[in-house]
């Protein structure tokens, strides 16, 4: 454990990349990316202890009961993220500082920690009973950490993180630690630890670190974001602007699912929320009403201009846990992200005359594992290994237990005859 006073003996500086929206003049939206510095204060203050909470299981989203095509082949594409760090403190509030290339990777030079294949980020269903806002904060505050990373010049940069294990594994955004050489993780109690890097992926903007000699910490509970529904209550905890506002708790609703944002040829797939997320929330949790993490806060959109033009508010975005789990588990296993395991087909949930659901193969992609294994459109998918498949969610849930290179025994029905196909999963990034 490191002395908290170490934090006060350094020059501290925050950084931020924001999606800066300029009102269109000729019918087109313009998005620019900026980085903005701000000095950080010198104190780390304690927070309250957590209260126990009960779990809930609620129904799937409406998409689970529709006979719609689910593209299993399509995993997570490389993310071009808009990053949160610290706030703009320029003299002109309507203009930011220097433009940066956010698609670049400055590397991360924090001392390495060995991978931990025995550790996994497991996703669960929503809890059994919604909590009060007070209870959500008390549950999640001990699991939300402050990340202070230092570059080679001695400047510090701040973000937020979420605890994975009691012995100090935690995750944050890759941009929080990109270009830095050392890192400190601070708990809500004010206790601080040196942190080492297990691995990161700049494209997915996820990093996993390990607090040295940590024990007895409170890991967060992670909910499968595929359960999420637009309109449900969500919360965020983070470090907006500076350490004096550390542990700020905000609330809102889930405003959108699977938001696709095409920028510089890359696609972001994110949850959208109107919960206030500000500079310094990067890497922190987006939380459901059961005190479970459903996303990692990564970006926001801000507005350039004043008066009637300054209308962009409440546009925050988080990486969904359904995507994050693949990245984190690969990094924990090998130190690197291999990509989302891909079967190479799309599926459709359908219903027989009695109302029972079943899964049919909708299409098979050329050149990918399913085609090589002999899977054909129109096949009925009965099971993957020993896991029975009744709807698209069953296959998605099972796929999260797999890694690139695993071979899966698919049980299929073709013209009433049971057949088996051995599919070796490949990667989609």
Residues in a beta bridge with 148: 158, 184
Catalytic: which of 282, 322, 325, 360? 282
Alpha helices in 145-193 (DSSP H): 174-177
Which phi and psi (to 5°) does residue 354 adopt?
Answer: -85, -5
> Taking the CA of residue 25 as centre, how many other CA atoms within 13 Å lie in the half-sphere pointing to its CB?
2
Residues in a beta bridge with 35: 17, 98
Beta strands in 212-355 (DSSP E): 222-223, 233-238, 248-263, 266-273, 285-287, 293-303, 316-320, 340-342, 345-351
The whole-angstrom separation of Cα 207 and Cα 145 is 14
Radius of gyration for the alpha carbons in the chain, expressed in angstroms and rounded: 22
The whole-angstrom separation of Cα 158 and Cα 14 is 6
The whole-angstrom separation of Cα 210 and Cα 115 is 10
Tokens of 273: 């929320």
Of the candidates 294, 402, 374, the one whose C-alpha atom is nearest the C-alpha of residue 75 is 402
Do residues 221 and 288 touch, judged by C-beta distance below 8 A?
no
Catalytic: which of 87, 88, 201, 205? 205
Tokens of 367: 């050149």
Tokens of 3: 């002395």
Catalytic: which of 88, 175, 330, 362? 175
Of the candidates 234, 237, 240, the one whose C-alpha atom is nearest the C-alpha of residue 249 is 237
Residue 405, exposed/middle/buried by CB under 10 A (0-12, 13-18, 19+)?
exposed
Active site residue 9: no
With H, G, I as helix, E, B as strand and everything else as coil, classify residue 321.
Answer: helix
Tokens of 92: 């002109």
Active site residue 175: yes
Active site residues per annotation: 175, 205, 282
């Amino acid at each position: 454990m490191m002395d908290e006073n170490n934090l006060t003996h350094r020059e501290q500086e925050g950084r931020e990349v924001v999606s800066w929206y300029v009102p269109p003049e000729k019918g087109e939206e313009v998005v620019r990316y900026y980085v903005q510095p701000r000095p950080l204060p010198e104190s780390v203050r304690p927070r309250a202890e957590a209260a126990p909470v009960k779990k809930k299981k609620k129904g799937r989203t409406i998409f689970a009961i529709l006979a719609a095509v689910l593209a299993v082949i399509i995993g997570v594409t490389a993310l071009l993220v808009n990053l949160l760090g610290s706030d703009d403190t320029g003299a002109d509030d309507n203009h930011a500082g220097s433009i940066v290339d956010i698609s670049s990777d400055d590397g991360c030079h924090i001392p390495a920690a060995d991978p931990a294949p025995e550790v996994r980020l497991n996703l669960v269903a929503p809890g059994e009973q919604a909590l009060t806002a007070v209870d959500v904060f008390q549950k999640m505050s001990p699991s939300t950490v402050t990340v202070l990373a230092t570059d080679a010049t001695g400047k510090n940069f701040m973000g937020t993180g979420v605890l994975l294990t009691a012995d100090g594994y935690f995750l944050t955004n890759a941009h929080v630690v990109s270009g830095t050489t050392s890192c400190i993780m601070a708990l809500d109690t004010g206790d601080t630890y040196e942190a080492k890097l297990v691995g990161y992926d700049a494209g997915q903007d996820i990093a996993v670190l390990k607090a040295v000699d940590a024990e007895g910490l409170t890991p967060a509970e992670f909910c499968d974001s595929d359960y999420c529904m637009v309109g449900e209550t969500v919360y965020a905890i983070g470090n907006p602007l500076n350490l004096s506002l550390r542990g700020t708790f905000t609330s809102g609703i889930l405003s959108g699912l699977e938001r696709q944002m095409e920028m510089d040829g890359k696609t972001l797939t994110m949850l959208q929320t109107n919960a206030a997320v500000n500079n310094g929330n990067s890497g922190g949790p987006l939380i459901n009403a059961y005190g479970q993490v459903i996303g990692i806060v990564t970006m926001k959109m801000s507005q350039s201009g004043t008066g009637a033009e300054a209308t962009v508010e409440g546009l925050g975005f988080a990486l969904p846990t359904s995507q994050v789990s693949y990245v984190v588990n690969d990094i924990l296993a090998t130190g690197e992200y291999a990509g989302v395991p891909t079967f190479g087909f799309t599926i459709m949930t359908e219903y027989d005359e009695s109302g029972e659901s079943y899964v049919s193969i909708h299409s098979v992609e050329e050149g990918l594992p399913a085609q090589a294994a002999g899977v054909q459109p129109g096949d009925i998918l009965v099971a993957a290994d020993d896991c029975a498949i009744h709807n698209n969610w069953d296959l998605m849930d099972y796929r999260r237990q797999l890694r690139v290179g695993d071979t899966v025994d698919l049980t299929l029905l073709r013209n009433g005859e049971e057949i088996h196909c051995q599919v070796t999963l490949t990667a989609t990034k």
